[in-house]
Structure 1
Amino acid sequence: MNKKNKTFRIVILGMLSSIIIIQTTIPFLGYIPMGPLSLTIIQVTVIIAAIVLGMKDGAIVGGVWGMITFIRAFVAPTSPIAPLIFTNPLVSVLPRILIGVVAAYVFHRMLSGKLNETVRMSIAGVLGSLTNTILVLGLIYLLYREPYANFLKMDMEQLLPALLTIVATNGITEAILSGVLAPIISKPLLKLRRK
């Protein structure tokens, strides 16, 4: 890797990590309330890192988001249930790291040469976003089923349908949003990187 490319990588990595910090600390920049839904768009930043910089850097940016989620669960929880759930790095950190891994793998390896670049970016965006949604909610169900059901004031039998409803509403909407935004933002950055 030449010096110019290395510098570009460090600048973009720092910029995207800074954006993650801003998105997680300033209301409405990372989580957008839309009626009954609260859409997370922070994963788009991780997906962009994965597409533009590759798997390792995508995982690093995802890890930054995960660590902020983990730390905030201790010092400034975003909800009453956050200290119970997000103080476990399996729930707060791992899914965020895997967004970058999945998005980079889909874009750079799995679909490379098979589809045009824009379509690959969109698919990477959708699958990266779904990785986060499915892993976080799946781990909540596996590890914190009872406390989470109690928090929501519902029976244990109602929890799985409730979580699946979240996947079908928030999760799919976030995935579509990620699929649309990923190529729009990644394409110019990728062009700059290749120069």
Structure 2
Amino acid sequence: MSTMKTKRFVATTVFVAIVLLQSFVPFLGSLPLGAFIIGASVTIVPMTAVLAGLVLGPRSGLVVGLFWGMTSWIRNLMHPGTIGSLIFSNPVTALVPRLIVGLLSGYLAFLVMKKARSPWWGFFLLGAFGSFLNTALVIASTTVAFKLFPVSGMGIPHAHLFTWLVGILGFNAGFEMIANGLLVLLIGRVLVAKLPNLRPE
């Protein structure tokens, strides 16, 4: 294994470790805004997968997205009894959106840095888009799953399911897009400057 591949492997492992910490240690993976905006709790794990794709390329983004999805799936299987655990105990919903976010972020980051003269605004858009894409894919996959395998209880309606999911999952979406966009912008600038050669051509 070449020195550059070894460095990229180590960096990917660091991003995976960060996702694991964010997933299992309270407050590392979310910003509780309830004290300022009632009911809002902003998930910031998407920015880690986006940053991995940005700095290390789509393959590393995919790996980090995989671990993000796996930890989400396992955590919700271990703690049943909530709407969130019901949604993310489905492996398709837990895994597929996160895999796509990590992979697509890597490809989009390549375009941003190649085409944009000053790509910093693109970093914000990458973070915001990664957060939006995760939420949108979770809503879409959950709608399909609940239609194919109807569930009862917890106030889950049989009619207007998509609208209901948009209401409960989409409430935080705007806050999450802003938070993840700003974090990718601030952290991404530093990482790209410090680790300029880790991204594969």
Equivalent residue, structure 2, for 1:119: 121
User: How much does 1:53 deviate?
Assistant: 0.4
Q: Deviations over 1:108-140 (max 9, x none)?
A: 136731452111211111111111100111111
User: How much does 1:167 deviate?
Assistant: 5.0
Equivalent residue, structure 2, for 1:97: 99
- Partner of 1:169, secondary structure, is coil
Say what the alpha-carbon RMSD is for the aligned residues.
2.3
Q: After TM superposition, list the pairs within 5 Å mapping 1:107-186 onto structure 2.
A: 107-109=109-111, 112-114=114-116, 116-145=118-147, 146-147=150-151, 150-166=152-168, 168-186=170-188
d(CA) in 2 for partners of 1:62, 1:79:
25
Equivalent residue, structure 2, for 1:27: 26
User: How much does 1:82 deviate?
Assistant: 5.0
- Partner of 1:29, secondary structure, is coil
d(CA) in 1 for partners of 2:85, 2:181:
31
Q: Which protein is richer in helix relative to its size?
A: 1
d(CA) in 1 for partners of 2:55, 2:2:
16
Range with greater deviation from structure 2 (164-173 or 178-187): 164-173
d(CA) in 2 for partners of 1:85, 1:54:
29
TM-score by length of 2: 0.84
Identify if the C-alpha distance between structure 1 residues 128 and 115 changes in structure 2 by more than 3 Å, giving closer, same or farther: farther
The answer to whether residue 12 in structure 2 is matched with residue 7 in structure 1 is: no
Equivalent residue, structure 2, for 1:70: 73
The question of whether the paired residues in 1 share the 8 Å contact of 2:93 and 2:141 is answered with yes
TM-score by length of 1: 0.86
Equivalent residue, structure 1, for 2:56: 53
d(CA) in 1 for partners of 2:51, 2:21:
16
- Partner of 1:107, secondary structure, is helix
Identity %: 29
Equivalent residue, structure 1, for 2:45: 42
The question of whether the paired residues in 1 share the 8 Å contact of 2:19 and 2:45 is answered with yes
Q: Deviations over 1:141-171 (max 9, x none)?
A: 1112542xx4441533353333223454211
Aligned pair partner of 1:189 in 179, 191, 194: 191
Amino acid at match of 1:172: G
- Partner of 1:156, secondary structure, is coil
Q: How many residues align?
A: 191
Gaps of 5+ in 2: none
The question of whether the paired residues in 1 share the 8 Å contact of 2:113 and 2:119 is answered with no
Gaps of 5+ in 1: none
